[in-house]
């Protein structure tokens, strides 16, 4: 694994006989006490394996949901004990408390090869306040702090930021992979860099589009947000989803692109339908055509799909966030499906480095059974988006050697 520039790695710290306070993101869906999706637990396995192999004992901490009090046991991490044990093939000790005698006793019962899981961080209101006293108390539970929760590192919470004042800190395997991938995608991309931003609303992605105009060679805007760009150019959109309050923003972004080295491109044809229902009749219009008043734009058209594939073939790096149509409803999945297949094929041919993220993007790739065919797919949600916007994430800044404590305990 390549060196993660600027951050201390697990391999840089002696772990033998030490307790490793390991921040993960186990914010998983639980129904009737059963974990519905094991992906986040499975993705933490390389870090936990590395700690155990190096002779350390992982003390796992995570948040789950937004409990209103510690009495709301529907948010207890206890439901994760068996899944973690099954995935890791290890004994998992669970503490009903985060701090205090029970937590310390549970930790001291663990043997090498075991894992300790503490109760939901958000059962203590001080977690989300980045409270230093709470962080100090957490620090007493371990000898080393390992952050393996990139997806939570855009939050200034005690287990993400303040904790680094009290323990020597490092990044876990998943965090390291994420940082390397996103740095490669945005900070040191192989060029040409082609970016695709889709989804429904410009309002949630203004900063992303603005930043990608500064860093990309070509930026394609699709999905329902492209309707707002079309309307901003004075073209008809019929019943299409549009953000009227974002028309001036769209015009500003279009104007910026005219003075940028980045080429901003929009669909050249569209799929339209009378309603957004499965099996609805549809037709195509070109960019210059009128969208009838009783029709709505629901997807890109075949000419745009061909044009995108041409850009992909000329590019070396791709950043993708957001579907280019109403992919959840057939037959309006065609544009996003064709895009997914083109990206996967070029990635497999080693002609394209492909990086994607965002819940809808992941869902689209899953639907096409192509999730594992891209160079890297981030599940980090808000953290992924903020990184792509060029923002500094508090949890990442806190891990820099100049910011966090580097002594030994």
Say whether both 146 and 207 belong to one domain.
Answer: no
Burial of residue 273 (CB within 10 Å: 0-12, 13-18, 19+) is buried
**d(C-alpha 171, C-alpha 407), whole Å:** 16
Question: What's the average model confidence in pLDDT over 95-101?
Answer: 94
pLDDT > 50? residue 407? no
pLDDT tens across 138-177, in order?
999 999 999 999 999 999 999 999 999 999 999 999 999 9
Query: What pLDDT does residue 188 have?
Result: 86
Q: Please, which residues bridge with residue 195 across strands? A: 219, 319
Structure tokens at 103: 């937590």
Query: What pLDDT does residue 404 have?
Result: 42
313 is a domain residue: yes
Which residue in 23, 40, 205, 334 is the catalytic one? Answer: 40
359 is catalytic: yes
Say whether both 283 and 162 belong to one domain.
Answer: no
Structure tokens at 138: 């957490």
9 is catalytic: no
Say whether both 82 and 203 belong to one domain.
Answer: no
pLDDT tens across 186-206, in order?
888 999 999 999 999 999 999
- For 40, other C-beta atoms within 10 Å of its C-beta total 20
What is the residue range of 244's domain?
A: 189-378
Query: What pLDDT does residue 5 have?
Result: 55
201 is catalytic: yes
386 is a domain residue: no
Structure tokens at 210: 């603005």
Query: What pLDDT does residue 176 have?
Result: 95
> Percent of the chain having pLDDT more than 90?
89
Say whether both 362 and 253 belong to one domain.
Answer: yes
Number of domains in the chain: 2
Which residue in 55, 100, 310, 359 is the catalytic one? Answer: 359
Which residue in 45, 54, 201, 403 is the catalytic one? Answer: 201
Output the CA–CA distances (angstroms, integers) from residue 311 to 308, 327, 366, 393, in the order listed.
5, 21, 23, 31
Say whether both 110 and 206 belong to one domain.
Answer: no
**d(C-alpha 24, C-alpha 5), whole Å:** 21
388 is a domain residue: no
**d(C-alpha 41, C-alpha 255), whole Å:** 45
Say whether both 39 and 128 belong to one domain.
Answer: yes
pLDDT tens across 381-392, in order?
889 999 999 999
383 is a domain residue: no
**d(C-alpha 90, C-alpha 81), whole Å:** 10
328 — pLDDT class (breaks 50, 70, 90): very high
Which residue in 341, 382, 403, 406 is the catalytic one? Answer: 382
181 is a domain residue: no
Say whether both 268 and 350 belong to one domain.
Answer: yes
Per the prediction, the chain carries an average pLDDT of 93
40 is catalytic: yes
What CATH number is attached to the domain comprising 276? 3.40.50.1260
């Amino acid at each position: 694994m390549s060196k993660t520039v600027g951050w201390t790695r697990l391999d840089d710290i002696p772990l033998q006989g030490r307790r490793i306070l390991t921040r993960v993101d186990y914010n998983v869906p639980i129904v009737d006490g059963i974990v519905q999706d094991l992906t986040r637990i499975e993705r933490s396995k390389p870090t936990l394996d590395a700690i155990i192999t190096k002779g350390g004992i992982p003390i796992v901490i995570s948040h789950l949901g937004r409990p209103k009090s510690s009495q709301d046991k529907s948010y207890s991490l206890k439901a994760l004990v068996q899944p973690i044990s099954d995935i890791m093939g290890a004994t998992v000790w669970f503490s009903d408390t985060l701090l205090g005698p029970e937590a310390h006793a549970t930790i001291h019962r663990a043997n090498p090869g075991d894992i300790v899981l503490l109760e939901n961080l958000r059962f203590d209101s001080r977690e989300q306040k980045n409270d230093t006293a709470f962080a100090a108390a957490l620090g007493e539970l371990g000898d080393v702090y390992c952050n393996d929760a990139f997806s939570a590192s855009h939050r200034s919470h005690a287990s993400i930021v303040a904790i680094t004042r009290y323990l020597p800190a490092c990044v876990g395997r998943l965090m390291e992979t994420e940082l390397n991938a996103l740095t490669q995608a945005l900070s040191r991309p192989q060029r040409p860099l082609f970016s695709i931003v889709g989804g429904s609303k410009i309002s949630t992605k203004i900063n992303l589009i603005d930043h990608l105009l500064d860093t990309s060679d070509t930026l394609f805007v699709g999905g329902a947000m492209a309707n707002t760009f079309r309307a901003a150019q004075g073209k008809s959109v019929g019943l299409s989803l549009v953000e009227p309050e974002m028309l001036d923003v769209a015009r500003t972004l279009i104007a910026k692109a005219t003075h940028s080295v980045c080429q901003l491109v929009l669909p050249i044809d569209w799929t339209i339908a009378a309603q957004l229902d499965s099996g609805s009749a549809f037709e195509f219009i070109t960019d210059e055509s009128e969208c009838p008043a009783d029709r709505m734009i629901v997807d890109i058209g075949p000419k745009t799909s061909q044009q995108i594939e041409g850009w992909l073939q000329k590019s070396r790096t791709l950043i993708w966030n957001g579907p280019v149509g109403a992919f959840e409803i057939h037959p309006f999945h065609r544009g996003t499906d064709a895009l997914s297949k083109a990206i996967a094929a070029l990635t497999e041919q080693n002609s394209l480095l492909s990086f994607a993220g965002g819940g809808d993007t992941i869902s689209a790739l899953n639907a096409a059974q192509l999730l594992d065919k891209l160079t890297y797919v981030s599940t980090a949600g808000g953290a992924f988006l903020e990184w792509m916007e060029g923002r500094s994430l508090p949890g990442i800044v806190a891990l820099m050697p100049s910011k966090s404590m580097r002594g030994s305990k």
